[in-house]
Structure 1
Amino acid sequence: MAAVQTCTKSNIYTLLQRHPMFSHLSQEYLNQIIQLGTLKTFRADEPVVKQGETINYFFILCTGKLELSTELDIDKKIAQTLSPGDYYGEVCLLTGEPSLINITALKKSQLLLFDKDQFQQLISLTPQLNKKVVAALSSEIKRINQEIMQGKNKELALAKFITESKYSLKKLVGKSRFIKALRHQINERARDLEPVFIIGEEGTGKILVANTIHRQGPNKQQPFIVVECEELVEDDQAVKIFGSNTADTAPVRFGFLELARGGTLMLNNVESLTDNAFLRVIHYLETSREVRLILATTLKNPQEYMARRFPAIDCQALFLNAIYLKPLRERKRDIPDLVDHFLAEKQKKYGSKKKAYLTNDAFEKLLSHDYRQGNIKELAGIIDRALALSDQNKIDAEAIIIGEINQNLPGYDLFRWQSVKKLIYSGTWPVSVQFLVSCLFLLIMAGCFWAPRETASQLNSLVWFYVGPVIILTSIFFGRMACSICPFSFLANLCQRLVCLNKPVSFISKYYYVTVIFLYSLIFWFEEIFSLRTSPLLTGLLFLSLTVLAIVAAVLFKGDAWCKYMCPLGAVIAVCSTLSPVELRANTEVCQNKCQTYNCYKGGRLPGCPLTQHVMYIDSSINCKLCFRCFKNCPNNAVKLSLRPPAREIWSLVNVHWGMAAVVAAFGLMLLPFFTLHMIQAIFPTKWGLIFNVIYWLLFLVIIYFSLRFQAKSPSAKKMVPYVRLFFAFIPLIAGGHLAYQLDHNTSLHLYQLIRISGPGESIPLLDLSTLIQLFVLTAGLAGSLLCLFKVYKNSKVKVSPSLAYPLAAASYGLMVFLLLMTN
């Protein structure tokens, strides 16, 4: 062979960019790979690899064409050809076995070569390449089986490689009683080659336990192979496991049992096997111990399942050596040890020298989670993500993002329109508009204090009669767009740029719903008791108080803590935004496969998300104030502004927002005192204030009490999703109630009398324009809630009884209509 000639950096870089396996990688990773590979050129008819020759490199064909052939005695058999993008050498490199084929250049060809160490570095540098190589090697197994008998050795090497690449955890971690007992069970099971049945939820470590049993057993030097039964084609399961040799003309197909000869074969999710394949497995267990079989399932009661599935067969023998793995939520004492282990492993991956650690708030957040989505595997993902999101070695609670990844639901992406993208990129929306709104807000607030009485009264009327309904309506139709131009946020951010103490927000974030409900209740109580609609001075004081609170929050805490945890107006907008036909979401497939920077959270050309959200996990408009920073920061164009069916997120909610469910309940229940206020004033003209205050604040205390009691029980997040959806299904009716309440104070609408009855001396008004609009709004709210309830029941996997929800919605609507007609 000719000597290897090293290409220039630019040439190799160009080749990598053109290569389909590397085209998705970032420039940073390409530059690292350049240091590994070397380029070699072969002339036409020049041999590249000779059959029987030991090769110590893996190559990718960049240009040209190669011919693969085998020599059987005096005959030469052409296997196939390789085109640019194909590769070879991974099996020989991994096993040390000589090549089973000849490879010859059909024309001038260029190959990119990696030796064994470089190949391992290449895979560790590029996780996506790792997946492609593993998938390609799996495909290679099938091809070699069909081409030559010697494929058995190759399949075995590949199976080992796939198993070791996919399951990197090498030891049990933890000090709980369960782990100690589990280690003892593993020692007992590893002494012989009897079959083992491992039972546990997804991510509890079934494969790790099986591998540990194998490594401690008498045949630890023999193969350990994992078969994911749910990934096998049903018609081909038995052949894949047991192999076949049904015809002289057909190639031998080696099954996994043959590949694992003398070692251990694990059948994961064994319940996915067909009856035929399962019965053959049972028969093998009864007749052979040549291969230790370890079965694993996620079923809660596999014995009952097996008895029901195979009533004529006694399957009790399968469970004689059963191992039950507890879910992580039942052994949270192991979480600190697991966290330390994953931190150490992930830091090696990222090459960090400083030891990372979690704050107490971050640990508390991890300990409060139930890990029903993936147990230990889920915890590992959370730690990996937290390390990537944290710029320092300290990981705080904000970096612990817990929840399911949002689903890619259909919608029309408004960013297809260049005019919309230009509006955002130019800063016209929301930056310029927010500045103008803030200036207008300061003028109105100043007018409330210092303008002439008539002008101040007009400004006050403008605020209370029009701004309130407009905010609710814009939230219903455009989401939290009002928050993106909020003057309180603008002024608070200006002060935060000057000074920020960066205090922890753990207590406030944990009990944010208490703060929101209290401030909301206080404002509306203040509005009714002190008649703010007629007092510009008090309105100005209210605005000034909210501005000061927002600024104080900005100075104390980083990000928009006021908007996320405290703002009562923002909470009203957030609740109403769930009904919006506009949503900002991520293309989660792009995020999962391309994102390496987390710019939406950490920031890029602009600061990161002010609500400290990762856009991939946003499944509700509650958590997005439409500032569009994520859109501007994302280098992969993964952020979408979509039109959707209104209120769709209510029945498609993935993550639990039970704190907001408490806020929704409070917003709904607090309507009762407002709708009954005029009636109380009429019945108790001298003591109405005392009676209203007692009812109002007693109701507030009841709501807070039950909310705190509910949180103290630490409800399961997964189980709570259907019930949170139920709470959210009442949002249309609640929003309609608040809008009707706001419209009731617009005196100009009451002037338009639609129906009057002639009485003695004068006509009596029965229906005015305001009442008609209010009835329409409440009816639309009821229709929306009934639709949401129907969709929630239809889409919920956990069936919740509709027997109470529908009557409750109808009764609430009837009560509000009755009180509305009585007071008007």
Structure 2
Amino acid sequence: MIGLKTALCALAIDGSDGDGSYADIERRLAASEAALQAERERDAALQPYLVSAPKCGVVGTSKYADRLRRQVVAASRDPARKPVLIFGEPGLEKCNLAALVHFGSPAHAAPLIQVACDRIGGGAPELFGRGSKRGLLEFLPKGSTVVLNNAHAAPADVQALFAQLCRDGTYAPGPSSAALAPPRPQPAPRTSVGRALRSGDPAARAILADAAARNARQGAGPSVGSAHRGALRRALARVILVAERPLPALDSLAIVIKVPPLRVRPKDIAAMQAYFLRERERRMGSFTARRGGPRLALTPAALRHIESYAFPGNIAELRDLVERAAVQAGEAAPQLNADLFWFATQASDRWRINLLSRLPLLRAFLRSKLWPERINFSFTVYAFAAINAILLLGPQDRGHNFALNAFWCYWWPLSFLVYPFLGRIWCSVCPFMIYGELVQRWRLSKGVKLLKWPHVVGEKYGAWFLYALFAAILVWEQCWDLEQTAYLSSCLLLLITAGAMLFSWFFERRYWCRYLCPIGGMNGLFAKLSMTELRARQGVCGATCSTYHCYRGGPAEPPEGQETNGCPLHSHPAQLVDNRDCACPHSSVEVRLRPPAIDLWSTHTPLPAEAALLFLLLGAVYLHHLPQLCDQLGIGGEAITGPLPVHMAASVAVLGAPGLFAWALDAAGRWAPVLTLPWKTLPVPSAAGVCAGVGASAIAAVGGGASAGSGRVRGPGAGFVEMAYGYTPLVWAGTLSHYLLLLCEEAGRILPVMGTTVGLKAEATRDWPVLVADHHGGTLLAGAALSLLLTRKLAARPWAVLLPQVAGIAAFTAELWYLIV
């Protein structure tokens, strides 16, 4: 013991430090006893706070782990022993990093203590001392280190003392308990004022309050603050602060080390779990480890499973998770399988089922050459050419042209029927881009280097371009009756194909599909309602994959990775969070069953151009029934559909009307000062309220957000654009209902139509089988009900607050029912 050595050295009599007399020996003995007593007092004071050694080093091989190691080494070797601030989320074992800084320094033999600042009192007396009672800093010798854990949770006055300690290395003990004691209350003087105070006279109390305020302004009355603290003392210990958030006041005073959360460094999970298992074997004295048997380890599937988990509790949660799985497995099972980690599941994944693992035949089909390569280039490329040839050369009406009947009565309604089940799977076998890809392959075979994508331009203007193109196509379809004109329908198909081929001529991959295709924009919009999704496990992509062949392209990687040219849409699977926008060697990609439309209230990012496209498609349903709409409004149909300019102007107006109507309802709900229940009276808004509400609605229409005019917030960022997506099921149902008319009434006549297409007379096909069904409004009503539920989910507010949206859904549904059913 250090104190005992000090005493023995003091008792040694060599005649060099004294005269050897009895008095001299007694003096030195008293000094040695005092030193020994001080040593014992210091040991007793520091013992509860001592840290003996770090638990481990920085485990991992990621760039984050490498950077963290370099920062720890640089801090430990700092010759000035500057204070250190280590901050990061809970569970990152930041105190262990602080221990690494101390024990990696030249003064590693000096004491290291750790103080919990979340339990420290006002003024931190245990650290700084109070009155005659000494604090921990006074006991710490030169070269030692004090770790202030949870420094962010310390009281504000203590944090100010921390800043002073880091700035100049000084501190001052707090005032004694006597100085902090409040003065004893004095009885009121037995004067007229005293009697007035005792009797509760308001005037006397006002005079006394005024005098007290005047004394306070003049500095009268002692304050118990920094003026009562003791004289400044210099701390000999180095300070390391550990916090869960940044402390800006200390940025310029300390070496700052930010510890990255585990979710951004999934590559380190494999090394960490292996280390935790080895530590457990060492602690438990594992039988297999002693006999040289197989070490406890995770199976590859289990490792992929935990790598895909976000670990909100970070390293501490990973340690507990591995320990729990090892306990459940027992000594007899050296391999920990994925079933033992069932609790490591993202909250967003709990309602999702990976169909690739549940349905092996589906996995085999999607991995085969049949999907989609052979379907596209052995069937679709020729079938699409044949369809266009029939449209151009065959009969020109739908009752006699097989291709025109198939295009409008089969392809369109079946596409809308597929959206809720398989999302935008149509894009995988899209004939437009097949020809674009053929052009691209020919260009590449000639040694041409294709251009990189102008991503910024596409992100900024692409959605509005496809909106304008879709609007032009709808006006063209209405004014020139494409549904009954075969060659014009072929021109529509060839126009979209030409766009895909043109952009494939200049740019790599599928720029047209990603940003500009109007059909792709519609597919992406309605795919949000799907009950299936294609996603990747981000943790696996970040931890296991180092080639990124799914994005860049590359050769086959056994056992599962297939040769690929990279994602044609320039999207990494790990970035997929929405159905708007692959076979993996690490089993990261999943085809999952999920709650329909869950993207819209979880990971969805609303876009004004997409909301505009939604209402454009709703307007298209009304436009398809323009004659009935004219009759309903008492306008002669021939006056509208006769002159071409009038017909085009009316078409544009009908396409824009639903969006303007929905915006007007939303604006009306925002500028109303109070929106009460339906059976109560709605107050009449003032002129100022109208102006403020209209302005706020205009802002919300552009970018979303809550209105400031009404003083009411419908939900987090619930502006017009966000709430517009609540109409999506209704728009889908209305469009499907329109095409169901063709499916139920004309699609079943495909055989007689096929006969007339090849030249048979109507009499010859009269007895051919025909299938006709009645169309009812069940689809439309179901879409309206789903829109109401989705609106409620998006807004997260009571129904009474959602009256504008409810009124809009009801009005649109009633009008669609009149026109279609």
TM-score computed with the length of structure 1 as normaliser? 0.50
- Aligned counterpart, 1:231: 91
Distance verdict in 2 for CA 1:822–1:478, change over 3 Å? closer
**Cα deviations by residue, 1:770-809 (Å, 9 ceiling, x for unpaired):** 9974521111112222232344355xxxxx6765646424
Alignment of 1:511-550 (within 5 A): 511-550=461-500
- Aligned counterpart, 1:175: none
- Aligned counterpart, 2:453: 504
Letter in 2 for 1:569: I
2:563 counterpart of 1:610: no
Distance verdict in 2 for CA 1:655–1:614, change over 3 Å? farther
Q: Secondary structure at the match of 1:635?
A: coil
Distance in 2 of aligned mates of 1:498 and 1:643: 38
- Aligned counterpart, 1:697: 652
- Aligned counterpart, 2:389: 446
- Aligned counterpart, 1:100: none
- Please say if residues 438 and 486 of structure 1, whose CA atoms lie closer than 8 Å, have aligned partners that are also in contact: no
- Aligned counterpart, 2:635: 683
Distance in 1 of aligned mates of 2:531 and 2:109: 55
Q: Secondary structure at the match of 1:611?
A: coil
- Aligned counterpart, 1:586: 536
Alignment of 1:170-569 (within 5 A): 219-220=81-82, 224=84, 226=86, 230-231=90-91, 273=118, 277-279=119-121, 282-284=124-126, 286-287=128-129, 289=137, 407-416=348-357, 417-435=359-377, 436-452=379-395, 457-499=401-443, 501-506=450-455, 507-569=457-519
Distance verdict in 2 for CA 1:741–1:240, change over 3 Å? same
Letter in 2 for 1:413: N
- Aligned counterpart, 1:735: 732
**Cα deviations by residue, 1:540-559 (Å, 9 ceiling, x for unpaired):** 11111111111001112222
Question: Cα offset for 1:423?
Answer: 1.4
Q: Secondary structure at the match of 2:535?
A: strand
- Please say if residues 784 and 810 of structure 2, whose CA atoms lie closer than 8 Å, have aligned partners that are also in contact: yes
Higher RCO (CA 8 Å, separation ≥ 6 residues):
2
Letter in 2 for 1:450: L
Question: Cα offset for 1:814?
Answer: 3.3
Distance in 1 of aligned mates of 2:461 and 2:698: 8
Q: Secondary structure at the match of 2:580?
A: helix
- Aligned counterpart, 1:155: 53
Distance in 1 of aligned mates of 2:697 and 2:440: 32
Q: Secondary structure at the match of 2:86?
A: strand
Distance verdict in 2 for CA 1:297–1:782, change over 3 Å? farther
**Cα deviations by residue, 1:240-293 (Å, 9 ceiling, x for unpaired):** 9999xxxxxxxxxx9xxx9997999899xx8xx4xxx25489444653556677
Letter in 1 for 2:376: Q
Question: Cα offset for 1:618?
Answer: 0.9
Distance verdict in 2 for CA 1:227–1:494, change over 3 Å? closer
**Cα deviations by residue, 1:344-388 (Å, 9 ceiling, x for unpaired):** xxxxxxxxxxxxxxxxxxxxxxxxxxxxx9xxxxxxxxxxxxxxx
- Please say if residues 384 and 431 of structure 2, whose CA atoms lie closer than 8 Å, have aligned partners that are also in contact: yes
Letter in 2 for 1:501: L
Alignment identity in percent? 21
Distance in 2 of aligned mates of 1:262 and 1:735: 70
Distance verdict in 2 for CA 1:411–1:537, change over 3 Å? same
- Aligned counterpart, 1:62: none
Q: 2:818 pairs with 817, 821, 824, which one? A: 821
Question: Cα offset for 1:639?
Answer: 1.1
Distance verdict in 2 for CA 1:637–1:303, change over 3 Å? same
Distance in 2 of aligned mates of 1:212 and 1:721: 48
Distance verdict in 2 for CA 1:449–1:160, change over 3 Å? closer
- Please say if residues 668 and 734 of structure 1, whose CA atoms lie closer than 8 Å, have aligned partners that are also in contact: yes
Letter in 2 for 1:778: L
Question: Cα offset for 1:430?
Answer: 1.8
Question: Cα offset for 1:720?
Answer: 5.5
Letter in 2 for 1:448: L
Letter in 2 for 1:534: Q
- Aligned counterpart, 2:781: 779
Structural RMSD (CA): 5.6
Question: Cα offset for 1:668?
Answer: 3.7
- Please say if residues 225 and 264 of structure 1, whose CA atoms lie closer than 8 Å, have aligned partners that are also in contact: no
- Please say if residues 219 and 263 of structure 1, whose CA atoms lie closer than 8 Å, have aligned partners that are also in contact: no
- Please say if residues 160 and 225 of structure 1, whose CA atoms lie closer than 8 Å, have aligned partners that are also in contact: no
Distance verdict in 2 for CA 1:772–1:576, change over 3 Å? farther
- Aligned counterpart, 1:637: 587
Question: Cα offset for 1:517?
Answer: 0.8
Distance verdict in 2 for CA 1:544–1:714, change over 3 Å? same
- Please say if residues 397 and 486 of structure 2, whose CA atoms lie closer than 8 Å, have aligned partners that are also in contact: no
Distance verdict in 2 for CA 1:296–1:561, change over 3 Å? farther
- Please say if residues 476 and 580 of structure 1, whose CA atoms lie closer than 8 Å, have aligned partners that are also in contact: yes
- Aligned counterpart, 1:84: none
2:580 counterpart of 1:622: yes
Distance in 2 of aligned mates of 1:737 and 1:594: 45
**Cα deviations by residue, 1:524-545 (Å, 9 ceiling, x for unpaired):** 1111111111111111111111
- Please say if residues 122 and 158 of structure 2, whose CA atoms lie closer than 8 Å, have aligned partners that are also in contact: no
Distance verdict in 2 for CA 1:554–1:260, change over 3 Å? farther
Distance in 1 of aligned mates of 2:742 and 2:532: 29
Distance in 2 of aligned mates of 1:616 and 1:722: 29
Gaps of 5+ in 2: 1-46, 130-134, 160-180, 183-222, 227-240, 250-309, 311-345, 444-448, 555-562, 664-695, 707-714, 750-770
- Please say if residues 225 and 266 of structure 1, whose CA atoms lie closer than 8 Å, have aligned partners that are also in contact: no
Distance in 2 of aligned mates of 1:617 and 1:792: 23
Question: Cα offset for 1:484?
Answer: 0.6
Give the total of aligned pairs.
Answer: 499
Distance in 2 of aligned mates of 1:219 and 1:533: 81
2:745 counterpart of 1:748: yes
- Please say if residues 408 and 588 of structure 1, whose CA atoms lie closer than 8 Å, have aligned partners that are also in contact: no
Letter in 2 for 1:683: I
Letter in 2 for 1:733: L
Distance in 2 of aligned mates of 1:316 and 1:537: 90
- Please say if residues 453 and 511 of structure 2, whose CA atoms lie closer than 8 Å, have aligned partners that are also in contact: no
TM-score computed with the length of structure 2 as normaliser? 0.50
Distance verdict in 2 for CA 1:665–1:215, change over 3 Å? farther
User: Rg bigger for which structure?
Assistant: 2
Distance in 2 of aligned mates of 1:490 and 1:211: 56
Distance in 2 of aligned mates of 1:161 and 1:638: 24
Q: Secondary structure at the match of 1:226?
A: strand
Distance verdict in 2 for CA 1:642–1:699, change over 3 Å? same
Distance in 2 of aligned mates of 1:784 and 1:296: 48
Distance in 2 of aligned mates of 1:427 and 1:750: 32
**Cα deviations by residue, 1:441-481 (Å, 9 ceiling, x for unpaired):** 21110111122557963321321122211111112221111
Alignment of 1:649-728 (within 5 A): 649-653=599-603, 659-668=609-618, 670-674=620-624, 678-680=628-630, 683-684=635-636, 685-688=638-641, 690=645, 693-694=648-649, 696-697=651-652, 726-728=723-725
- Aligned counterpart, 1:647: 597
Letter in 1 for 2:371: W
- Please say if residues 671 and 737 of structure 1, whose CA atoms lie closer than 8 Å, have aligned partners that are also in contact: yes
Say which structure is richer in strand.
Answer: 1
- Please say if residues 509 and 565 of structure 1, whose CA atoms lie closer than 8 Å, have aligned partners that are also in contact: yes
Question: Cα offset for 1:420?
Answer: 1.6
Distance in 1 of aligned mates of 2:347 and 2:385: 39
